[in-house]
């Protein structure tokens, strides 16, 4: 079932290639039925639930039943939300996977009633409120469809989600914002012009130790280990002075998990507050090591990144 976990992360629980959003005030697009009402869920919100049902559940369209009614902000199409979930194959009765149920490690999910893939989960979530635990029983036609076999499912298998809606993610900032902080000695000079940074590497020996400075201290929530973040970044090879990658130059922020980047970049994010601008020096042992990466980062090269931490994904 690890194939399904990987496919789910790729297709639905990370950043779907979605087909536009329905209006933000979309009415509920799923209601309860015999299948969703046949599932018993016990346990407190935010704690992995105990789920009981008879295998062989069948549905023609997604059914949703609220287990715990939250009183927070409502989920609408277009929301990006944080969830914990437990997922079963409702046809075979097999537990497929669950999230960590650990504060700060919730899974990000972009809700879209008009999605052409995995629409059943969005249909389960729309009209829920923060603090709600909801059951979704989803036919394969509104889940993996013709990709079911690559996810380890049968073409007619039904999914059962139990989802805790932990929060709605604020829209990312346009740029770092907060309290300016004086630069530290020994770091590259960073100048912004037209919203893009220019980095001037100082003369002298190439540093071989990790170091970080804050240029703007944000006042948002701190980034948790494993969180999905939205950032703008500008990467320069200290050894050559050459820019090797820059979302600033592309004009579009990047979204990724802190667990999916090199160690030095991850260390620059975890614990920092949303809104911060940091400059991080990453030696090769926390970067790309002796192998390097591509034709712009050689083995043993030290990297420097300017990072604007704009929000959670």
Give DSSP secondary structure letters for 40-57.
Answer: EEES-TTSPPEEE--S--
Indicate whether 85 and 150 sit together in one domain: yes
Task: State mean pLDDT over 30-38.
Answer: 95
Q: Would you say residue 17 has pLDDT above 60? A: no
Task: State mean pLDDT over 146-170.
Answer: 92
Indicate whether 34 and 157 sit together in one domain: yes
Let me know: does 255 contact 171? Beta carbons within 8 Å. no
Indicate whether 146 and 207 sit together in one domain: no
Let me know: does 67 contact 129? Beta carbons within 8 Å. no
Q: Would you say residue 72 has pLDDT above 70? A: yes
Indicate whether 25 and 152 sit together in one domain: yes
Domain assignment of residue 174, yes or no: no
Q: Would you say residue 13 has pLDDT above 50? A: no
Q: Euclidean distance between the first and final Cα of the chain, in Å?
A: 26
Look at 65-69, 106-110, 154-158, 198-202 and tell me which has the smallest mean pLDDT.
106-110
- End residue of a domain, out of 142, 168, 194: 168
Domain assignment of residue 127, yes or no: yes
Indicate whether 25 and 111 sit together in one domain: yes
- End residue of a domain, out of 148, 168, 188: 168
Indicate whether 164 and 191 sit together in one domain: no
Domain assignment of residue 150, yes or no: yes
- End residue of a domain, out of 118, 146, 168: 168
Question: How many Å apart are CA 135 and CA 124, to the nearest integer?
Answer: 7
Q: What is the pLDDT of residue 18?
A: 30
Indicate whether 164 and 16 sit together in one domain: yes
Task: State mean pLDDT over 24-53.
Answer: 89
Q: What is the pLDDT of residue 114?
A: 82
The number of distinct structural domains making up the chain is 2
Q: What is the pLDDT of residue 27?
A: 60
**Percent share of the chain, pLDDT over 70:** 91
Domain assignment of residue 26, yes or no: yes
Task: State mean pLDDT over 155-166.
Answer: 97
Give the domain range for residue 229. Answer: 179-312
Q: How many residues does the chain have?
A: 313
Let me know: does 55 contact 150? Beta carbons within 8 Å. no
Domain assignment of residue 173, yes or no: no
Helix then strand then coil, in percent of the chain rounded to 5, is 15, 35, 50
Helix, strand, or coil here: 155? coil
- The predicted model scores a pTM of 0.65
pLDDT tens-place string over residues 129-147: 999 999 999 999 999 888 8
Look at 9-13, 31-35, 45-49, 271-275 and tell me which has the smallest mean pLDDT.
9-13
Q: Would you say residue 150 has pLDDT above 90? A: no
Q: What is the pLDDT of residue 166?
A: 96
Indicate whether 107 and 154 sit together in one domain: yes
What is the helix (H) or strand (E) element at residue 15, kind and residue range?
Answer: none
Domain assignment of residue 307, yes or no: yes
- Residue 86's φ and ψ, nearest 5 degrees, are -125, 135
Domain assignment of residue 12, yes or no: yes
β-bridge pairing 228-237 and 211-217: unpaired
Look at 85-94, 107-116, 162-171, 198-207 and tell me which has the smallest mean pLDDT.
107-116
Q: What is the pLDDT of residue 7?
A: 45
Q: What is the pLDDT of residue 219?
A: 96
Domain assignment of residue 302, yes or no: yes
Indicate whether 29 and 7 sit together in one domain: yes
Q: Would you say residue 20 has pLDDT above 50? A: no
Indicate whether 227 and 303 sit together in one domain: yes
Indicate whether 19 and 163 sit together in one domain: yes
pLDDT tens-place string over residues 228-243: 899 999 999 999 999 9
Indicate whether 84 and 218 sit together in one domain: no
CATH number at residue 38: 3.10.50.40
């Amino acid at each position: 079932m690890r194939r399904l976990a990987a496919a789910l992360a790729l297709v639905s629980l990370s950043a779907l290639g979605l087909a536009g959003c329905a209006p933000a005030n979309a009415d509920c697009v799923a209601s309860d039925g015999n299948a969703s009402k046949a599932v018993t869920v016990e346990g407190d919100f935010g704690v992995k639930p105990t789920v009981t049902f008879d295998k062989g559940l069948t549905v023609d369209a997604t059914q949703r039943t609220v287990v715990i009614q939250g009183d927070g902000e409502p989920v609408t199409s277009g929301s990006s939300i944080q969830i914990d979930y437990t997922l079963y194959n409702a046809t075979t009765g097999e537990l497929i996977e669950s999230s960590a149920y650990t504060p700060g490690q919730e899974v990000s999910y972009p809700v879209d009633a008009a999605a052409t893939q995995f629409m059943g989960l969005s249909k389960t979530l729309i009209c829920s409120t923060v603090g709600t635990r909801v059951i979704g029983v989803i036919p394969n036609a509104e889940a993996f469809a013709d990709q079911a076999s690559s996810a380890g499912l049968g073409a007619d298998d039904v999914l059962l989600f139990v989802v805790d809606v932990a929060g709605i993610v604020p829209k990312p900032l346009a740029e770092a914002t907060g309290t300016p902080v004086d630069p530290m000695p020994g770091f590259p000079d960073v100048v912004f012009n037209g919203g893009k940074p220019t980095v001037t590497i100082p003369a002298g020996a190439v540093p071989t130790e990790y170091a970080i400075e804050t240029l703007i201290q944000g006042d948002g929530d701190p980034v948790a280990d494993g969180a999905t973040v939205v950032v703008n970044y500008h990467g320069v090879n200290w050894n050559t002075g050459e820019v090797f990658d820059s979302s600033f130059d592309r004009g579009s922020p990047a979204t990724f998990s802190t667990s999916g980047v090199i160690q030095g970049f991850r260390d620059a994010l975890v614990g920092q507050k949303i809104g911060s601008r940091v400059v991080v020096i990453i030696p090769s042992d926390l970067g790309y090591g002796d192998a390097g990466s591509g034709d712009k980062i050689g083995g043993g090269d030290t990297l420097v990144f300017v990072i604007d931490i704009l929000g959670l994904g």
